[in-house]
Structure 1
Amino acid sequence: MKALTIRQPYADAIVHGHHTHGYKRTENRSRPIPPKYLGQTILIHAAKAPHPAAEIWGPRPDVRSALLATAVLTSCHFDGAGCCAPWGMPNWFHWQLDDVQPLTTPVPASGQLGFWTPPDNVLAAVPEAPTR
C-alpha cells in the first residue's frame, strides 16, 4: 500500500474536517495522479513540517510524521476555472479523495515527497492496511 504525505493543517482537514469548510476531499497537486493509482486505497501521511502558507485554525489534532487515514483516489482533473471550492486551487490538478477512514491511532512514520511505500514494520502497525 502506498502513502501520500500531506502537510498540516491539510492532512487534518482531510481526516477530521474544518469547522467552516467541512472535509477536504480535493488534494491540489502540480501533476495528475499516475493512472496506476486511480481507484487505489492509499494511506494519508501527515508531514513533519506544516505548510508554510496555510491558514491555521482552531483546535485540531495536528499530529505530525504519522499515518492518519486511508483514502481512495477516485479521480483527477485540471482546474482552469476555479472548481472544487473551497479546497480546490485554480490551475492545479485536483486529486479527488473518497472513503476516507481515520486510523484508530496515528502510526508514527517518516514520509517522503510523492507516493512512497511504508516499511513493513510501519504497515504492520496499521491494522486497517492490507499487507503486501
Structure 2
Amino acid sequence: MRALSIQQPWAHLIASGVKDIENRTWKTAHLGLIAIHASKTADGDAVIRTEEGRALIADALARGAIRFGAIIAVTEITGCHRDCAAGTGMCSVWAVRGQWHWHLANTRALATPIPAAGRLGLWPLSEGIERQLRDQLAG
C-alpha cells in the first residue's frame, strides 16, 4: 500500500471525512486505497473554508486529538483532474484553482494512529506498518 504525507489540519479533515479533495501541484495516475500520513509539521497558512471544518479542528485541538508523524486514516483516490470543466464551478469547496484535484472517498480514520516517518510523493508503507494498518481495518 502507498501513503501520502499531508500537513495538519488537512490530514485531520481528510481523516474525518470532511475534506474530499487533496490539492497537489502534480497529478497522479494512482487510483485506489492509500494511507493518510499526518506530517510532523503543520500548515501555518491554513485557511479552513467551511464552518464544519473550523468547528471540527477547534474541537480536535481542544481535545488534543490532532496527531503528527503517524498514519491516521485510509482513503481511496477515485479520480484526478486539473481545475474543473468550463462553466461547472469548483468540484469541491476544498478545491484550489491551478492545482491537481485528487478526489477522495470512503475514508476511514484509524482508532489508533500508527507512528511513521513521512516522505514526499506517494510512498510505500513498510511491511510492518502495513500489517498494523490492515489489522486495524480488519478489526
Q: Please state which band the TM-score falls in when normalised by the shorter chain.
A: 0.7 to 0.9
User: Structure 2: which 5+ residue stretches go unaligned?
Assistant: 49-56
Structure 1 residue 78: deviation in Å?
A: 0.7
1:42 and 2:34 matched? yes
96, 110, 122: which one aligns with 1:115: 122
Deviations 1:33-71 (A, max 9, x none): 1x2x12x21101100001131147412121000001111
> TM-score with structure 1 length normalisation?
0.83
Which residue of the partner structure matches residue 46 of structure 2?
54
Structure 1 residue 26: deviation in Å?
A: 0.3
2-side partners of 1:77 and 1:12: how far apart? 23
CA contact (8 A) 1:68 1:106 kept: yes
Which residue of the partner structure matches residue 90 of structure 1?
97
Across the two proteins, how many residue pairs are aligned to each other?
Answer: 122
1:65 and 2:69 matched? yes
Which residue of the partner structure matches residue 7 of structure 1?
7
Structure 1 residue 129: deviation in Å?
A: 6.2
As a proportion of its length, which structure holds more helix? 2
Q: 4+ runs of 1 displaced by more than 3 Å?
A: none
Bigger Rg over Cα: 2
CA contact (8 A) 2:8 2:43 kept: yes
Which residue of the partner structure matches residue 22 of structure 2?
27
- Percent identity at matched positions? 35
Q: Name the SS for the 2:102 alignment partner.
A: strand
2-side partners of 1:128 and 1:41: how far apart? 15
2-side partners of 1:6 and 1:65: how far apart? 10
Q: What RMSD over aligned residues (CA atoms) do the two structures have, in Å?
A: 1.9
CA contact (8 A) 1:45 1:67 kept: yes
